[in-house]
C-alpha cells in the first residue's frame, strides 16, 4: 500500500513540476533532414552527422517543486565536434510546435558559423549569433520570436540574489543585443542554461584516441543491429578501482572498445537484464573508463586472421600501392595502402542455380529489348547497296560541289557505347542474417548472378569485382569477371564461391576499380558499388576518416569521366551516403530480398 501511494505521489509531484509542453513536442528525427540541409547550406561542415545529444547536469537554481520532484537537474544543449553535430533529442520548451521547430533550425544555423574558438563561451556565442544574423538576415524574425519566448521562461531578476541577478541581466542583454556585453559577471551559483546558445563545455570526443601502448582490437561490426539510443555520454579516464571502497560488492562486466577489453564498475546490484543496465547508464552523468593493469595474457584480443595459403584465394601478381586521403591533413598519403588482386582458387564451372532460372529468363527477355535494332546506315563510304538519295544529291550538285560524298548504305546493328564495373562489398557484415531468412552474402550472390545474366543479353561491356580489407596493408580485390572475359560457367563458379571477408576499406577499392574502368574507351562508363554499410577498418579508417577518403576517391573517379552510383541495403545509409555520393547518386533497397531483382532494373534505368 505504501509503495502504491508513493507511486501516485511521484506522478502527481512530477506532473506539477513539469514545465514543458508535451503536445507541442518536436523530435529530432522529424527535422533531421531539414536541419542537415540548412546546416550545410549555411556553410557548416558537410561531413558532420546529425545526432542526438545527451543531458548534462547544470547546477542552476531550481524552484521548490522541482527540488521535491527531483527533476530539472539536467539539460540538453547543442554542440559539435569534428564528426557530429549534436542536437536535443526532442524540444517541447514552448507551447507552439512552430517555435520549437524554429529552435532546431536556429541551433543548426548557429553551429554552422565559424569564429575564434579561443574566445570564452559567453563572448563566443554572442559573436556567433551576431555573425549569423548579419550573414543571413532572413533569420532575424525567427530569432526575435525565439528570444521573446525564451525570456518569458528566464528567472525573474527581482527574486534572485544580487550576484545571480547581475549574471542573468547580462545574459538577457546579450540575447536581445548580441555582441554588446563584454564579460559575464561572476556568481556563486551557475546561471540558468541558455538554450539558444551552444554548449559552454561540450564533452571531448575520445572515440578515435588510440594509445601507442594499447593493442588495436575491435568487435566485429554488426551493421544490421538496431541501436536504440544514440545519445552521447560524457566520458573520463580514471584509475582502476581496487574493489575495497563502497558498501556494495560490484560486478565486473565486459565491454569491447577500439583500445582494449575493459571492465565497467557500475557500483550497483547484480543486474542480468539489459534493460536494467540501460537504466543504470541513463542515470550516469559521466561514464568513467579505467585501464586494467592485469597481464596481457588475461586480456581478450579479437582480430581476424588471414587463412592459410592453401585455403585462401590465389593472389594475382604483386600488390598495388595506392594513396589514401587524410582529411585532417587535407592531403593524399602516397603509397599508403596495398591492394592485392585475388581470384577464387577452388572455383569450378557451374550452371545457374535452379531457383534463379525463371527470373533470369524473364530478365534476359526484358534486356534483349535494350539491344539496338538493325537499321539502315546511310551516306557511308562503303556498304552493301547504293544510297539513292545520296547519289541523286551528288549528281544534282556535281557542277557546284566537288567534295566526295558517301554514296552507299549498309544494314547493320547499332551499339551501346557504355561499360559497367560492378564492385561488391564482401566484408564480414555480409555474413549477417536478415528477417531470419537468408544471409546478406546469399542475396549479394544472387544479385551478381542475375546482373550478369541480364547484361549478357544486351552485349554491354561489364566486369564484376569484390573487395574487403584487413588494415591498410591488405586490401583484397577479388576478380570475378574482367572486361575481356565472356560470361560463362567459369564466371558463375567464381560468383558461387564468394564469401564474407573482413572489413570495408572502400577508398582503395574504388581507386583501383576506377583505373580499370577508365581504360575502357566508351562514352558512358558506369561504376556501380554494391554495399551493406559504411566504410570501416581496424585502424583509423573507422568514422569520418573512412567517409572522407571514400568521398575523395569518388571525386577522383568523376574527374576521370566515370559515373559512380551506389546501391545499398543499409537502412541508415541516408546519414552518410548523401555526403559521400551526392543526393542523386545512390539508392537504398529497404527489403534486401528484393535486391537481386532490383539491381538489373536499376542498371537499365541508369543506362537508358
C-alpha 429 chain-centroid distance = 15
Q: Helices in 152-225 by DSSP H: which ranges?
A: 162-176
CA distance 569 to 584: 16
**Nearest alpha-carbon partner for 253 in 270, 275, 237:** 270
pTM of the model: 0.67
Q: 380 with 404: CB under 8 angstroms? A: no
CA distance 605 to 597: 13
Q: 364 with 457: CB under 8 angstroms? A: yes
Burial-class residue 597 by CB neighbours within 10 Å (0-12, 13-18, 19+). middle
CA distance 96 to 152: 14
Given this model, what pLDDT does residue 81 score?
84
Beta bridge partners of 262: 255
Given this model, what pLDDT does residue 392 score?
79
Given this model, what pLDDT does residue 166 score?
93
Q: 507 with 325: CB under 8 angstroms? A: yes
Burial-class residue 334 by CB neighbours within 10 Å (0-12, 13-18, 19+). exposed
Helices (H) and strands (E) in the chain, counts: 16, 25
Given this model, what pLDDT does residue 232 score?
56
- Reduced 3-state DSSP string for 309-323: HHHCCEECCCCEEEE
- Reported in sequence order, the residue ranges of 363-417 that DSSP labels E, i.e. its strands, are 374-380, 385-386, 408-413
CA distance 374 to 390: 20
Intra-chain end-to-end CA distance of the chain, in Å: 73
- Reduced 3-state DSSP string for 91-148: ECCCCCHHHHHHHHHHHHHHHHCCCCCCCCHHHHHHHHHHHHHHHCHHHHHHHHHHHH
CA distance 461 to 560: 18
CB atoms within 10 A of CB 278: 12
Q: Which residue, chain included where needed, has cell 528570444? A: 147
Grid coordinates standing for 578?
Answer: 548523401
- What CA–CA distances, in Å, run from 254 to 289, 292, 450? 12, 11, 44
**Nearest alpha-carbon partner for 79 in 206, 202, 204, 232:** 202
Phi/psi for 551 (5° steps) reads: -60, -40
Given this model, what pLDDT does residue 377 score?
65
DSSP assignment, residue 185?
Answer: P
Q: 94 with 106: CB under 8 angstroms? A: no
Mean pLDDT per 10-residue section of the chain, whose length is 608 residues: 78 82 92 90 86 86 84 88 89 93 94 84 93 93 94 91 93 93 90 91 57 37 44 59 48 41 42 52 61 47 56 82 92 94 88 92 83 65 78 70 64 72 92 83 93 88 94 93 93 93 93 95 92 88 90 94 92 85 89 89 85
In whole angstroms, how large is the CA radius of gyration of the chain? Answer: 31
| Angle, in degrees to the nearest 10, between helices 97-112 and 121-135 | 100
CATH architecture of 312-368+416-606: 3-Layer(aba) Sandwich (3.40)
Q: What are the residue boundaries of the structural domains of the chain, listed by start?
A: 2-176, 203-303, 312-368+416-606, 374-413
Q: Concatenated DSSP letters for 413-467?
A: E----EEEEEEEE--GGGG-EETTTEEHHHHHHHHHHHHHHHHHHHT-EEEEEEE
Given this model, what pLDDT does residue 467 score?
95
Beta bridge partners of 565: 528
Q: Helices in 243-387 by DSSP H: which ranges?
A: 274-282, 354-368
CB atoms within 10 A of CB 332: 15
Is residue 83 helix, strand or coil? coil
Strands 84-87 and 49-52: parallel
Angle at 410 between CA 407 and CA 412, to 5 degrees: 160
**Nearest alpha-carbon partner for 132 in 155, 159, 108, 160:** 108
CA distance 49 to 83: 6
**Nearest alpha-carbon partner for 319 in 333, 336, 344:** 336
Amino acid at each position: 500500500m505504501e509503495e502504491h501511494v508513493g507511486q501516485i505521489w511521484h506522478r502527481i509531484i512530477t506532473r506539477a513540476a513539469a514545465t514543458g509542453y508535451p503536445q507541442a513536442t518536436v523530435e529530432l528525427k522529424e527535422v533531421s533532414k531539414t536541419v542537415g540541409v540548412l546546416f550545410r547550406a549555411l556553410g557548416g561542415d558537410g561531413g558532420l552527422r546529425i545526432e542526438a545529444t545527451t543531458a548534462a547536469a547544470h547546477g542552476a537554481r531550481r524552484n521548490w517543486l522541482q527540488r521535491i520532484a527531483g527533476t530539472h537537474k539536467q539539460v540538453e544543449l547543442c554542440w559539435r565536434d569534428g564528426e557530429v553535430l549534436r542536437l536535443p533529442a526532442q524540444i517541447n520548451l514552448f507551447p507552439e510546435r512552430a517555435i520549437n521547430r524554429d529552435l532546431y533550425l536556429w541551433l543548426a544555423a548557429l553551429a554552422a558559423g565559424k569564429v575564434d574558438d579561443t574566445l570564452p563561451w559567453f563572448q563566443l556565442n554572442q559573436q556567433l549569433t551576431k555573425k549569423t544574423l548579419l550573414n543571413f538576415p532572413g533569420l532575424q524574425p525567427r530569432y526575435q520570436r525565439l528570444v521573446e519566448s525564451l525570456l518569458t521562461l528566464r528567472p525573474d531578476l527581482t527574486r534572485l540574489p544580487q550576484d545571480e541577478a547581475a549574471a542573468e541581466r547580462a545574459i538577457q542583454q546579450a540575447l536581445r543585443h548580441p555582441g554588446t556585453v563584454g564579460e559575464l559577471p561572476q556568481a556563486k551559483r551557475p546561471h540558468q542554461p541558455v538554450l539558444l546558445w551552444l554548449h559552454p563545455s561540450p564533452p571531448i570526443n575520445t572515440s578515435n584516441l588510440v594509445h601507442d601502448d594499447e593493442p588495436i582490437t575491435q568487435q566485429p561490426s554488426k551493421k544490421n543491429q538496431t541501436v536504440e539510443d544514440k545519445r552521447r555520454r560524457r566520458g573520463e579516464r580514471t584509475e582502476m578501482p581496487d574493489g575495497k571502497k563502497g558498501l556494495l560488492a560490484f560486478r565486473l562486466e565486459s565491454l569491447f572498445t577500439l583500445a582494449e577489453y575493459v571492465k565497467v564498475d557500475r557500483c550497483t546490484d547484480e543486474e542480468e537484464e539489459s534493460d536494467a543496465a540501460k537504466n543504470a547508464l541513463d542515470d550516469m552523468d559521466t561514464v568513467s573508463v579505467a585501464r586494467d593493469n592485469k597481464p596481457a595474457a588475461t586480456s581478450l584480443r579479437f582480430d581476424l586472421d588471414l587463412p592459410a595459403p592453401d585455403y585462401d584465394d590465389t593472389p594475382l601478381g604483386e600488390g598495388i600501392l595506392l594513396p589514401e586521403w587524410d582529411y585532417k591533413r587535407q592531403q593524399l598519403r602516397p603509397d599508403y595502402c596495398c591492394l592485392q588482386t585475388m581470384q577464387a582458387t577452388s572455383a569450378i564451372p557451374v550452371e545457374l542455380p535452379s531457383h534463379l532460372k525463371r527470373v533470369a529468363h524473364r530478365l534476359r527477355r526484358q534486356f534483349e529489348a535494350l539491344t539496338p535494332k538493325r537499321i539502315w546506315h546511310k551516306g557511308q563510304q562503303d556498304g552493301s547497296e547504293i544510297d539513292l538519295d545520296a547519289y541523286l544529291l551528288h549528281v544534282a550538285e556535281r557542277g557546284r560541289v566537288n567534295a566526295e560524298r558517301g554514296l552507299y548504305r549498309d544494314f547493320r546493328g547499332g551499339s551501346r557505347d557504355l561499360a559497367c564495373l560492378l564492385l561488391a562489398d564482401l566484408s564480414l557484415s555480409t555474413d549477417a542474417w536478415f528477417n531470419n531468412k537468408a544471409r546478406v552474402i546469399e542475396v549479394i550472390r544472387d544479385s551478381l548472378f542475375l546482373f550478369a545474366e541480364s547484361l549478357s543479353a544486351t552485349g554491354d561491356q561489364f566486369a564484376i569485382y569484390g573487395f574487403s580489407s584487413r588494415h591498410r596493408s591488405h586490401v583484397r580485390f577479388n576478380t570475378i569477371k574482367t572486361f575481356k572475359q565472356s560470361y560463362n560457367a567459369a564466371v558463375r563458379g567464381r560468383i558461387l564461391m564468394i564469401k564474407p571477408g573482413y572489413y570495408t576499406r572502400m577508398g582503395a577499392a574504388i581507386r583501383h576499380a576506377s583505373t580499370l574502368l577508365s581504360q575502357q574507351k566508351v562514352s558512358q562508363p558506369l561504376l556501380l558499388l554494391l554495399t551493406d554499410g559504411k566504410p570501416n577498418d581496424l585502424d583509423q579508417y573507422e568514422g569520418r576518416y573512412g567517409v572522407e577518403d571514400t568521398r575523395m576517391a569518388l571525386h577522383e573517379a568523376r574527374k576521370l569521366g566515370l559515373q559512380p552510383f551506389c546501391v545499398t541495403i543499409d537502412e541508415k545509409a541516408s546519414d552518410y551516403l548523401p555526403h559521400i555520393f551526392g543526393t542523386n547518386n545512390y539508392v537504398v533497397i529497404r527489403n534486401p530480398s528484393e535486391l537481386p531483382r532490383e539491381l538489373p532494373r536499376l542498371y537499365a534505368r541508369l543506362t537508358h
